[in-house]
Chains A and B, each alone.
Chain A
Amino acid sequence: AQSVAQPEDQVNVAEGNPLTVKCTYSVSGNPYLFWYVQYPNRGLQFLLKYITGDNLVKGSYGFEAEFNKSQTSFHLKKPSALVSDSALYFCAVSFSGGYNKLIFGAGTRLAVHP
């Protein structure tokens, strides 16, 4: 079965420190991987995606993610966290032949402390 796992409900980071939000997936076929961010009572905003090519993907607001096929992971990273990065982060996957079916993880709440 196709699935996405975000193993941490919450990640706490001090401002200025690097942050990582973890995501692993299980799909048949080639995965298409996405990260979205959600601020309170708002819709989701697209951050970045991996479709093919370079395993390191750069996105909005200084975020990046690395596709690791052997570990079936797509962790979200940022070298230096900001308090304004505090939000709910969702990893999502679709797959070749899985026409328009995007599967979301449960979300990870990122809290960046001053």
Chain B
Amino acid sequence: DGGITQSPKYLFRKEGQNVTLSCEQNLNHDAMYWYRQDPGQGLRLIYYSQIVNDFQKGDIAEGYSVSREKKESFPLTVTSAQKNPTAFYLCASSRITGGDNTGELFFGEGSRLTVL
């Protein structure tokens, strides 16, 4: 079945450690996104990518890094520079049509990161 796979679903990290969250899609979508979800704050965009080897910062990129070496994959690294990394992280993808974002996002099941 086509979809987006995020792993791991749950992750615990000690302060000062970097951690990488995996996101893979087999929908043949060009665009991929990482969102952070905190209670009562909705979703905030961390990074997005419209094409391989290119990505842009979202609203809260500080302390995060990404890569887009393959169309199917968009891993997110939460670095030790991120001050408050405990959150639910969601990866998504979408088609790009005509230069406007009229296509819906398809989301993975999320990764919950807890910093101990």
Number of A-B contacts defined by CB within 8 Å: 70
Q: List 16 A-B contacts (CB under 8 A).
A: A36-B105, A41-B110, A42-B109, A43-B4, A43-B108, A46-B104, A90-B43, A98-B101, A100-B101, A101-B48, A102-B33, A102-B101, A102-B105, A104-B42, A104-B43, A106-B42
Number of interface residues of A (CB under 8 A): 25
Main secondary structure of the interface of A (DSSP, over half): loop
Q: Which of B14-22, B76-84, B92-100 contacts A (4 or more CB under 8 A)?
A: B92-100
Q: How far is the CA of A58 from the CA of B102 in the complex (A)?
A: 16
B99→A99 contact, CB < 8 A: yes
Given A32-B101, A43-B107, decide whether A100 and B90 contact each other with a Cβ distance below 8 A.
no
With beta carbons under 8 angstroms apart, the residue of B42, B90, B101 that contacts A101 is B101
Question: Smallest distance from the beta carbon of B19 to chain A beta carbons, Å?
Answer: 19
A97 at the interface (CB under 8 A from B): yes
